[in-house]
């Protein structure tokens, strides 16, 4: 069964028992189609994610290439009852799909079951993602592979400390100029707790710990 979801309406998921398998964070938006073939799997989407038109997510329904046959006998009698009892635990799924915060998924990308996409990940258009990706990775291709990272490692660590997506709306509004800027380091300098809590550099001629002065 496939279900097409328009994410701005997904904030009311608690009013839709038929969408109980989906957990959607605030302000995530876009169009995606979910192949919802395993009632035991859950789609978890973080905050401020963007899904381009044609994104497909597969909660099961995948063909097992490690079986003798890839054919799914559950579709037709007389095989379906036996198949259902023998394979109810799997339904062609490898587990939940977890999509972090501030993730952008490009046009007609496909996300297969069991995948976790870290915060800040970008998925290229037309990609088929069957493996998890670390925070702020850029993945592309079929099968999708890590093509690079959005920022250097030290900046990624800082962004994961800041977690701007957890801020209140008022704080986000106040930071919009830097949030929508190429100056990543200025954003980090302004909001990273590690920077805010670091000791000020000692000035020449200032008192040292033992009370003496330098210079």
**CATH number of the domain that residue 75 is part of:** 2.160.10.10
Residues 30 and 110 in one domain: yes
Residues 134 and 195 in one domain: no
Among candidate residues 109, 130, 150, the one where a domain is terminated = 150
212 is a domain residue = no
Residues 84 and 144 in one domain: yes
166 DSSP 8-state letter: G
pLDDT in tens, 5-63: 555 444 444 455 555 578 889 999 988 888 876 667 889 999 999 999 999 998 877 77
Give me the catalytic one of 31, 63, 89, 107.
63
Residues whose CB falls within 8 Å of the CB of residue 139, separated by 6 or more in sequence, listed in order: 121, 122, 123, 124, 127, 129, 133, 145, 146, 147
Residues 142 and 156 in one domain: no
pTM assigned to the model:
0.78
Query: Domain limits at 194?
Result: 151-199
Give how many domains the chain has, as a whole number: 2
Residues 51 and 111 in one domain: yes
Who has greater pLDDT, 139 or 205?
139
CA 55 to CA 51: how far, in whole Å? Answer: 6
Residues 37 and 119 in one domain: yes
213 is a domain residue = no
Instruction: Report whether the peptide linkage leading into residue 170 is cis, meaning its omega lies within 30 degrees of zero.
Output: no
CA 103 to CA 77: how far, in whole Å? Answer: 42
Residues 97 and 127 in one domain: yes
Residues 79 and 176 in one domain: no
Q: Confirm whether 63 is a catalytic residue.
A: yes
Residues 39 and 67 in one domain: yes
The secondary structure of 135-148 as a DSSP string is TTEEEEETTEEEEE
CA 215 to CA 62: how far, in whole Å? Answer: 71
Residues 129 and 96 in one domain: yes
Residues 46 and 78 in one domain: yes
29 is a domain residue = yes
Residues 115 and 160 in one domain: no
Instruction: Grade residue 124 by pLDDT with cuts at 50, 70 and 90.
Output: very high
205 is a domain residue = no
């Amino acid at each position: 069964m496939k279900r097409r979801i328009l994410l701005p309406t997904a904030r009311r998921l608690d009013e839709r028992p038929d969408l109980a398998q989906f957990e959607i964070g605030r302000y995530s938006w876009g169009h995606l189609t979910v192949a919802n073939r395993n009632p035991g799997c859950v789609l978890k989407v973080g905050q401020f994610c963007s899904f381009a038109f044609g994104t497909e997510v597969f909660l099961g329904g995948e063909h097992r290439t490690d079986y003798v046959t890839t054919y799914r006998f559950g579709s037709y009698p007389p095989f379906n009852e036996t198949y259902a009892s023998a394979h109810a635990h799997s339904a062609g799924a490898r587990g939940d799909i977890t999509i972090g915060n501030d993730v952008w998924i490009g046009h007609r990308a496909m996300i297969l079951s069991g995948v976790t996409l870290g915060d800040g990940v970008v998925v290229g258009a037309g990609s088929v993602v069957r493996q998890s990706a670390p925070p702020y990775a850029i993945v592309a291709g079929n099968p999708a592979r890590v093509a690079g990272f959005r920022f250097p490692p030290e900046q990624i660590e800082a962004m994961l400390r800041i977690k701007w997506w957890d801020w209140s709306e008022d704080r986000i509004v106040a930071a919009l100029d830097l949030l929508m800027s190429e100056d990543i380091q200025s954003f980090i300098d302004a909001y990273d707790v590690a920077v805010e809590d670091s000791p000020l550099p000692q000035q020449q001629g200032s008192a040292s710990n033992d009370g003496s002065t330098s210079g």
